[in-house]
Amino acid sequence: MVMGTTRVQKQERTEMASPNLLSRFRWQKHWGPFFLIPVASVLLALQPQSGSAQDASGQGSLDTQTNVEQAVSVKAYGAVGDGVTNDTAAFIKALAACAVKGGTCLVPEGTYLISASGISTRPHKPSVLSGVHLKGAGRASILKVAGMPTDHLLPCEGDNWSVENLTFDMGDYTPTIGSAAISCRGNNWRVANCAVVRSERWGIIAFGGNNWSIEGNYIKRTIPGARPPTGAILVTRSAGVWSSHGRVVGNVCEGVGITFAGNDGFIARNHVSRSGYGSGIFVQGLPSTRSATITGNVCSGGSSGYDDSQKGRWWSVNGFEVWAPDSVISNNIAHDNDGGGFAVGGQNSIVIGNKAYYNGRGHHGYAGFNARINPTRGTSASHSIFIGNSSYDQDYGYKEQGSGLSDIKQVGNDYSRNRKGPAKSFSAGGQMPISPEMKTKLKALANDADIPDNARHVVREYLGR
């Protein structure tokens, strides 16, 4: 068994840094610099968007894109920003003023010390409300937690609000509660171009809501390890209501991964490295989640740990794990993870044009692509299609885990360059015709420029039979 770096592996790492791949991360001007540069340079890229000029006094002109009636500075309400003075009260007052008729709250450059209880007048009371837009000046507008967090640092709730161009310094604290730098509730909101550094629980949490976006953010966990459960971005429910049409796009996550639950979600162009818990990108299944689109993401370097809930049982981190039925998993890359590359457990899913290589580091039996079943939840990868994928330098290219899988189609995949063999078991069947809905999706993918040429060619041939 060869565990060293192969010529093909080196070639793939070169491909990952090619302009063609990186261009997918640059379709919005603030995202590109995050992809391959150090933390200091990443924060340097967090500059305010056009239309939000700021003068030396900290007062700023109105961003015409927000359609709000006023713009105020936190310094006008007493914030100092010297990293020593507690500025929590000033933020609460400034945000409350903006909430009256809607407005933009500007945060000039500086380090603003925030209480461990967060920017809140009482536990869980939101500070960013409907129509409020909190906007920093970029990398040097820093909100720094003053001690062990007892609540979310910045709770946000309502409709049509935004948080942009801020840095959150979470101090490497590891609270027992599942607090976050930014917590989000409501509809039609946006968290963009922010950095969460030294984050030891959650970077951003979205509690339900519709038509929202978490985009272009940088989140880093400094201390390695999987305990306690942690992540960069968590999308979950609020009062039993799940998310719908949420977007997690163009984020860079170091040391922590993304967990998503909700219908019709769009998870695209994120880069997750060294996740120490769960999977790089984990998408839940029924009843919370269906019809997810996972495209253009890279998950690498997921590292193993011990799962306390399993009493010391060893587990390994996959690149991707998707249980949502009717999902499209396209043009993603999983490499150098301790677990498998892709684990798929949602029925009627399309897995197309993805790459998996050198996963299962130091462990045996792992594959680039894994079809799964969970009988207790009644979900599996049955009736899915794997088409035009590439998997090499693992034990197996493809593997099925659990009995009861059926009618999984394999079309034009390259599983041939693996240590033990191309595949470990195939499900019975795979000859049933695809549904009209899946055929419609495949026709669209055959003309999607982001799908690799060889995969699109395979789709066209398959549809032409």
What 3 state SS string does 91-133 have? Answer: HHHHHHHHHHHCEEEEECCEEEEECCCCCCCCCCCCCECCCEE
**Which one of 177, 192, 208 terminates a domain?**
208
Q: Are residues 190 and 266 in the same domain?
A: no
Domain range for 164 is: 44-208
Q: Are residues 318 and 463 in the same domain?
A: yes
Other C-beta atoms within 10 Å of 19: how many?
7
Residue 11 phi/psi, 5° resolution?
A: -65, -40
Q: Are residues 25 and 82 in the same domain?
A: no
User: Residue 95 belongs to a domain with what CATH number?
Assistant: 2.160.20.10
Other C-beta atoms within 10 Å of 62: how many?
18
Question: What's the helix, strand, coil split of the chain in %, to 5?
Answer: 15, 35, 50
Inside any domain, residue 225: no
Q: Burial-class residue 403 by CB neighbours within 10 Å (0-12, 13-18, 19+).
A: exposed
**Which one of 208, 233, 265 terminates a domain?**
208
Among residues 134, 125, 129, 200, the alpha carbon closest in space to that of 167 is found at 134
Question: Residue ranges of the alpha helices (H) in 249-334?
Answer: none
Inside any domain, residue 369: yes
Per-residue pLDDT tens listing for the chain (465 residues): 333 334 334 344 333 333 333 333 333 333 333 333 333 343 443 443 333 333 333 333 334 344 446 899 999 999 999 999 999 999 999 999 999 999 999 999 999 999 999 999 887 789 999 999 999 999 899 999 999 999 999 999 999 999 999 999 999 998 888 899 999 999 999 999 999 999 988 999 999 899 999 999 999 988 765 566 688 999 998 777 788 999 999 999 999 999 999 999 999 999 999 988 779 999 999 888 999 999 999 999 987 654 444 444 556 789 999 999 999 999 999 999 988 999 999 999 999 999 999 998 767 778 999 999 988 887 899 999 999 999 999 999 999 987 889 899 999 999 999 999 898 776 655 667 888 999 999 999 999 999 999 999 999 999 988
Q: Give the model confidence (pLDDT) of 429-454 as tens digits.
A: 566 788 899 999 999 999 999 999 99
Inside any domain, residue 390: yes
Structure tokens at 7: 């010529």
Strands 298-300 and 318-322: unpaired
Q: Are residues 71 and 12 in the same domain?
A: no
Inside any domain, residue 418: yes
Distance between CA 430 and CA 117 in Å, rounded?
A: 55
Q: Are residues 4 and 82 in the same domain?
A: no
Is-above-0.75 flag for pTM? yes
Strands 367-374 and 379-380: antiparallel
- Which H or E run includes 421? strand 421-424
Q: Are residues 8 and 75 in the same domain?
A: no
Question: Residue ranges of the alpha helices (H) in 124-195?
Answer: none
Q: Are residues 50 and 24 in the same domain?
A: no
Q: Are residues 281 and 353 in the same domain?
A: yes
Inside any domain, residue 246: no
Inside any domain, residue 116: yes
Q: Are residues 351 and 380 in the same domain?
A: yes
186: CB partners within 8 A, 6+ apart: 130, 156, 157, 158, 159, 161, 209, 212
Q: Are residues 24 and 77 in the same domain?
A: no
Inside any domain, residue 218: no
Distance between CA 19 and CA 179 in Å, rounded?
A: 37
Which residues is 423 bridged to in the sheet?
Answer: 398
Inside any domain, residue 100: yes
Other C-beta atoms within 10 Å of 328: how many?
21
Report the domain count for the chain.
Answer: 2
Other C-beta atoms within 10 Å of 37: how many?
13
Question: Residue ranges of the alpha helices (H) in 197-327?
Answer: none
Q: Are residues 183 and 261 in the same domain?
A: no
Q: Are residues 75 and 102 in the same domain?
A: yes
